[in-house]
Amino acid sequence: MRESMATDIQKLIGTSEEDDEEMDMDVKEEDEENGGKHIAAQIMVGMDGGMTSNSSDNQFQHHQQFQEQVSSPGGGGARRSRPLEEKERTKLRERHRRAITARILAGLRRHGNYNLRVRADINDVIAALAREAGWVVLPDGTTFPSRSQGSRPAGGTSAAVTSSSSHLVSQPTTPPGSIRGVSPGHRSPVEYNSCRMKGVFIPNPSPYDQSASTQSQTPGMVGEGREQTESDPRVGGSMDTINDKQIVAIPPIPKLTERDFAGSPFIPVYVMLPLGAINMKCELVDPDGLLKQLKVLKSANVDGVMVDCWWGIVEAHAPQEYNWNGYKRLFQMVHELKLKLQVVMSFHECGGNVGDDVCIPLPNWVAEIGRSNPDIFFTDREGRRNPECLSWGIDKERVLRGRTAIEVYFDYMRSFRVEFDEFFEDGIISMVEVGLGPCGELRYPSCPVKHGWRYPGIGEFQCYDKYFLKSLKKTAEARGHPFWARGPDNAGSYNSQPHETGFFCDGGDYDGYYGRFFLNWYARILVDHGDRVLSLAKLAFEGTQIAAKLLGIHWWYKTASHAAELTAGFYNPCNHDGYAAIVATLKKHGAILNFSCSELWAVDQQVDFAEAHSDPEGLVWQVLNAAWDVGIPVASENALPCYDRVMYNKILDNAKPLNDPDGRHFLSFTYLRLSPLLMERQTYMEFERFVKRMHGEAVLDLQV
């Protein structure tokens, strides 16, 4: 059995001879072109497929291209006499090239609205930047200032873009601390979730929208700061020219000393399974491949896995007709490997957010109801519906074939508890996380990518369906101010900044009599929804830990209004604690707080988006202490892809606070997410090292 497991591990994390040969050929071509000279990390072009980065010094990752094949090494003889160590260095150089290109192209597409094709090469990038700066770039590469079009330079003296995507410049084999590699990139957890896995699945415009403006959303409303040129502070380093080619030289990331966690408290580590592990027919998609990956995780001493139990799959076709077949097979597989399970009651849609690589809508019968009554969905000021999850306004409204939303959630949870009774009784299911809003998080869907939001926009209030407006009117009349039965009319739009609005600016209406009334009502709806659902979850899963997930909305945290938190439902301006009521509700039901923000660096936010006044570390400190002060256990998960030591160290520092007098620490940590990239040798070894340190074990290569 040990030999079989070793074979499975080699199949999953080993690299094939074909990969070695491809990278060897790259290096050979580079040596021939550059006379054997080694040059610093640069832009690599002409990649296959989408964009992916993979580097131990990289803090911002993409998952879509250059995933090594999960296969056993080839059986042929040695193609070369090059040592294995040189091959490994070659692979790392390739990954650095791909990482740099991926980040440059992703940044230009996302933040600058550059219309770059998927297979864009260096010519496309330089031409786009030149045109942005006011130059004219002809198809043959001839380039000249637009104001001197009458005197176009001759071909021999033109500033033509001559570098070719077929020529690669090799990278010196230097220690990680001195690699001229990838500068820290955009790190918004909602943009989030910026590029988690395979890009974004953007569904068609919602048929429930009232406003025609939904159909005309364009990238122009997204990024307004297109005056970012060579002086853009987001771009670290300089441009070097070698053999008429330009390469990006990015300052080395300084080495960070590491804490020794040997002997520290044991924190279980779980791994979230892929979003599409179960298909729409409730079938396990690739049982053999998943089993092999689970065996590899088991070999790294991972404690268990987390899986979404999608409402849109299980109760897809008719009310109270549940199909758990795929989950039964999955859970049995996990049980046989002696792993634990954390399950998520996912009452939201998958698809439309950055990182969603599959589409799992709400149940069909719910969509039918929504077509005749679109007010069951969250609605913004312009009447745009968001069918990602049900509006909290119908929690107690019998609009779902005779049932309220709360009753629908409870029936689903009760069915799950009965179906998997043996797994509860045997302790295999260690925790149930209850979905409470978009992405399963307790918040309003204030930052929907499908409606044009981009980081670091403040978002919009989502309280304009008829059920919310009815509640607001009733509350305003009870207060004696019926004219307050309206949402703010000066709160800007999704991509506004606080100082651009009359509501969120310093001294704005958010802190006036009406503003405080509205924000209190808006936040109370959120807390009441969490209270109702958790009370029924506690009843359905008696004897098992339940959890609620909060997203760390850290942008604009250093401003007085905390605008992005306000639109998300967290009434947390500088003069009010917006998390006290939430943790009190969790305490009431004995629920765990699962907080997603633990790996973010404040310094990265300041470098990448200084104008966002972000402070993830300050937010983490506030939320963790709010929970710990009332005795609530805290679990966490990474909001962004995490493969390198720097981000792992940040998670460890938050999981086991230094010199905490009470010895407080995370209850558990969930890693997002299982993928072929995690199974690659270098990333897997780094992850295995992280698990050991979370478990309080000693590691040999500690940097102290």
> Catalytic residue positions?
441, 637
Alpha-carbon span 71 to 31, nearest angstrom: 29
Task: Tell me if 314 sits within 8 A of 412, measured CB to CB.
Answer: yes
Cis peptide before 456 (omega within 30 of 0): yes
E strand or H helix that includes residue 82: none
In the block, tokens 């490994």 appear at: 88
Task: Tell me if 23 sits within 8 A of 79, measured CB to CB.
Answer: no
Rg of the chain over CA atoms, in angstroms?
26
DSSP category for residue 598: T
* C-alpha atoms less than 13 angstroms from C-alpha of 78 in its C-beta half-sphere: 6
Residue 650 in tokens: 């940040």
Task: Tell me if 57 sits within 8 A of 181, measured CB to CB.
Answer: yes
Letter string b/e over residues 383-419, b meaning 16 or more CB atoms within 10 A of that residue's CB: bbbbbbbbbbbbbebebbeebbbbebbbbbbebbbee
Alpha-carbon span 681 to 338, nearest angstrom: 24
Distances (CA, A) of 139 to 118, 144, 362: 19, 12, 47
DSSP category for residue 214: G
Cβ-proximal residues to 496 (8 Å cutoff; 6+ apart), any chain: 457, 458
Distances (CA, A) of 75 to 78, 82, 384, 397: 9, 17, 58, 64
Alpha-carbon span 328 to 423, nearest angstrom: 10
Cis peptide before 673 (omega within 30 of 0): yes
How many Å from the N-terminal Cα to the C-terminal Cα in the chain?
A: 38
Residue positions counted in the chain: 704
Beta bridge partners of 546: 432
How far is C-alpha 333 from the chain's CA centre?
27
3-state SS string over 140-156?
CCCEEEHHHHHHCCCHH
Q: In 3-state terms, what secondary structure has residue 63?
A: strand
Distances (CA, A) of 303 to 292, 306, 428, 690: 16, 10, 11, 13
Alpha-carbon span 60 to 47, nearest angstrom: 18
Alpha-carbon span 53 to 92, nearest angstrom: 11
E strand or H helix that includes residue 195: none
Residue 257 in tokens: 């000393």
Beta bridge partners of 270: 304, 670
Alpha-carbon span 498 to 561, nearest angstrom: 8
DSSP structure string for 241-304? EETTEEEEE-PPPPP------TTSPP--EEEEPPTTSB-TTS-BS-HHHHHHHHHHHHHTT--E
Alpha-carbon span 132 to 146, nearest angstrom: 11
Query: What region, left, alpha or beta, does residue 270 occupy, with left being phi > 0 and alpha being psi -120 to 50 degrees?
Result: beta
Cβ-proximal residues to 522 (8 Å cutoff; 6+ apart), any chain: 444, 461, 463, 566, 569, 571
Task: Tell me if 183 sits within 8 A of 96, measured CB to CB.
Answer: no
- Helix 513-540 / helix 580-588 crossing angle, nearest 10 deg: 20
